Amino acid sequence: MAPAERTDVERSLGRRMGGAAGLAALAGLAWVARDVPAALGGRLAGARAERAARSPQFRDGTFHNQAGTRTMVADPGRNLLRELIFGKQKRRPSTAVPLLRPADEPAATGTDRELGVIWYGHASALVEIEGYRVLIDPVWSERCSPSAMVGPRRLHEPPVRLDELPRLDAILISHDHYDHLDMATVRELVARQSAPFLVPLGVGAHLDRWGVPADRIIELDWSDSHQIDGLKVTATPAQHFSGRGLRRDGTLWSSWVIEGRSRKVFYTGDSGYFDGYAAIGAEHGPFDVTLMQIGAYDRAWPSIHMFPEEAVDAHLDLRGGLFIPVHWATFNLALHDWSEPVNRLWAEAKARDVRLAVPRPGERVVVDDPPAVDGWWQSVA
């Protein structure tokens, strides 16, 4: 074959190989993104949209906080992207986070007054109250993201599998951000459990798209309650925002009051500090235990996530008994050190004589007899 002919053949082969590689890359990208459209969730429509429009929290097509807030605050001279990439903060633990598996014994039943909380990591927790079991913001996926391939990855495994959870009486969702509402987890809970999903207004659109039966979706506005036999669950205000794609605030966000015949639990969801905590405490308190968001804060977004000291303020406003911190340790979502939230919390709780329990993921806390704070996180930070 003449040199010119060889060159033509090589060029043709190169084009074919390049085209094949391009097609393979596109196929790979499509495979990676295959679940993203569904994970984005649904949109308000029909009767759900009409109900949202009647909410005092809804105007001009979106939900709003009680007071005006901004999700980002300008900070002249600070480059958040540069800090994210080159910052000196230690945003991951040095060694494995210790996990505990709950004892294989049944929770209290009937009228037993025992109140227990199992924290599974980040905001996921199980509340055992007077024989009822309430699962809060369950996220069992490897990433809190619409994609299984990109996004914040877990810093520790879930301490139990979803198929190891006991029978649930209710599943609470505080809002639709990916670190609180996870499509894969919801779908597995639909298959394995029969409990209803209690969610803020609009979040039911996501659950609809993911195959949750309509009779298992209970959507509540702030101050709305739902009764499950002897258990009362009430949606209460929070100061945050929502959104799973480019559109913001198309669904409501909420904190929650869980109330038995004689015991009460409060969960913040995600929220900045605001005077609504004092109002919730006056109307619904005192609480035996509060589950309080303490992580993922920054001075660039002070209105939507509490600093640890503000979480103590809120706990006292709520007239809380035992303080259990959540929303830390599992996902790297901010610029502070991994252990900073709980270190700051422990110092503030001691200074203000607040009862505190800091469980390891999977550890069951009996509210009336909590374990002493032992600083376990400091050995792995």
Closest C-alpha to 257, from 236, 243, 237: 236
Q: Distance between CA atoms of 213 and 301, rounded to whole angstroms?
A: 36
Does the pTM surpass 0.85? The reply is yes
> What integer pLDDT is reported at residue 24 of this predicted model?
41
Written as six digits, the tokens of 240 are 């945050």
pLDDT in tens, 93-105: 999 999 998 764 4
- Is 113:358 a contact under the CB 8 Å cutoff? no
Half-sphere exposure of 229 (CA within 13 A, CB side): 11
CA 240 to chain centre: 12
Strands 132-136 and 170-172: parallel
**Is residue 1 very low, low, confident or very high in pLDDT (cuts 50, 70, 90)?**
low
The amino acid occupying position 152 is: P
Q: Distance between CA atoms of 24 and 340, rounded to whole angstroms?
A: 44
The amino acid occupying position 115 is: L
pLDDT in tens, 317-351: 999 999 999 999 999 999 999 999 999 999 999 99
pLDDT in tens, 247-273: 899 999 999 999 999 999 999 999 999
pLDDT in tens, 161-212: 999 999 999 999 999 999 999 999 999 999 999 999 999 999 999 999 999 9
- Is 266:256 a contact under the CB 8 Å cutoff? yes
Pick the CATH number of 120-368 from 3.30.70.260, 3.90.226.10, 3.60.15.10, 3.40.50.360: 3.60.15.10
Which of the two residues, 315 and 33, has the higher pLDDT score? 315
**% of the chain exceeding 70 in pLDDT:** 88
